[in-house]
Each structure stands twice: as structure tokens, then as C-alpha cells.
Chain A
Amino acid sequence: KAGVTQTPRYLIKTRGQQVTLSCSPISGHRSVSWYQQTPGQGLQFLFEYFSETQRNKGNFPGRFSGRQFSNSRSEMNVSTLELGDSALYLCASSGTVGGEKLFFGSGTQLSVL
């Protein structure tokens, strides 16, 4: 069974631009969560989607948004990029909403210049 796939693996953007990251969960998993990881703040929860609906949301500004498609694939969008948005963005899938046994992808490393 294929794991969680995130694309792209690396991304370089400039301040003010917007970016879209993609995540394909494990086949059969309907829950997708997004995390931001930085050296200073560690792993921080962004949001969780289940059956195309956002079920949980972390403490991030509205510039961070996401969506989930009917095939459970998810995208995360960050608008008006700031330097502080430079981070590793991780996607995780689970078989149930709020599922604690998460399977993570390798992440997208975003650098904002």
C-alpha cells in the first residue's frame, strides 16, 4: 500500500506570493491533517479535513487555508507569503476523523525569500 505522498518536495517563493501544496493520503484514508514544522516552534497543527469538511483548526491566520476533494486528496494554500512561513509542511492521513494513529508524508520544504 502506497504511503502518504506530498508534492512538491521543495519549493522556493518570494514574499507576497501564494503557494499551493498537495497531499495524497493512503488509499482508503479519509482524514487528512496538515502540520507546520519550524526549528523554533516545532510541529504545529494547522487543520484537519474529513470527507471534504474541515473538522479541526489550529491557531493560524486566515492566510492558511485548505480543502479536501472527494477522492480524499487535500491541498493547502498559503496566500501573501511572509518570511516566517518558511517551514516544513507535513501532511498526515488517518482512517478516521481525529484518528490518533497518523501516517505522515515526507513533507514539503517551503522557503520564502
Chain B
Amino acid sequence: DAKTTQPPSMDCAEGRAANLPCNHSTISGNEYVYWYRQIHSQGPQYIIHGLKNNETNEMASLIITEDRKSSTLILPHATLRDTAVYYCIVLSGAQKLVFGQGTRLTINP
């Protein structure tokens, strides 16, 4: 079962930052937070992951709260191609990826 809670949908204007929240209040100390996204008719795409420190890569930034009970994925300058379903997943190395329902992000022109 998914251990995360995400809003079912969000909208963002093109060029603005998209901030996608995720609650994971039961996260364990050895569990990472992973983000994937799925663009229509494609397989999911890895975005970023983190344990407790904030992370940034070429695609996005991940902000994890100090108590690790929630996190936010930030797409700094959203484009129309960022329209997708975004999945927040928590797991440790011994587990398999379990996808929840995700957040359907729509970027509007």
C-alpha cells in the first residue's frame, strides 16, 4: 500500500514554479522519498530522491521537512511539457516501488 498522500490534481501557469506537496507521516528512518512522473502514454520517469537533506538536480528540487513527515517537489520554471502525473513514493532498499494515485499536474499557457 502507498504510504503517501498527494492532492489529486494541481494547476500551474507556464513559467511559474510548480510546488507539489506530499505527506508521508509514517516514514521510517531508513526510507527515502522518491519522485517519479508519468507523461501521457509513456512509462514513468525518475525525477529525484532524498533521505533528509534537500536535493536538486537538472529537473527539480526536493525539499524535505526536518521531521521528514512531508516533502515538496519543485519544478522551478514549469513548461507545458511538465504536464504529467507526479508520484511521491517512500521506500527503503529492500522494498519494491509502490505507486499511489499521484498528482495530476496541468501546466497552463
B101 contacts A102, C-beta separation under 8 Å: no
- A24 CB to nearest chain B CB (Å): 14
The interface residues of chain B lying within 8 Å CB-to-CB of A48 are 96
Size bracket, chain A contacts:
20 to 34
- Interface residue from A42, A56, A104 paired with B96 (Cβ < 8 Å): A56
A62 to B45, CA, bound (A): 29
Task: Give residues of chain B (37-64) contacting chain A, Cβ–Cβ below 8 Å.
Answer: 41-46, 49
Chain A CB within 8 A of B13 CB = no
- A51 CB to nearest chain B CB (Å): 17
B-side interface mostly? loop
A45 contacts B46, C-beta separation under 8 Å: no
The 8 A CB mask of A36-54 against B (1 = contact, 0 = none) is 0000001111001000000
Chain B minimum-CB-distance residue to A107: B43
The interface residues of chain A lying within 8 Å CB-to-CB of B42 are 104, 106-107
The 8 A CB mask of B68-109 against A (1 = contact, 0 = none) is 000000000000000000010001011111111110000000
- Interface residue from B43, B49, B87, B95 paired with A90 (Cβ < 8 Å): B43
The interface residues of chain A lying within 8 Å CB-to-CB of B100 are 42
- Interface residue from B43, B45, B96 paired with A98 (Cβ < 8 Å): B96
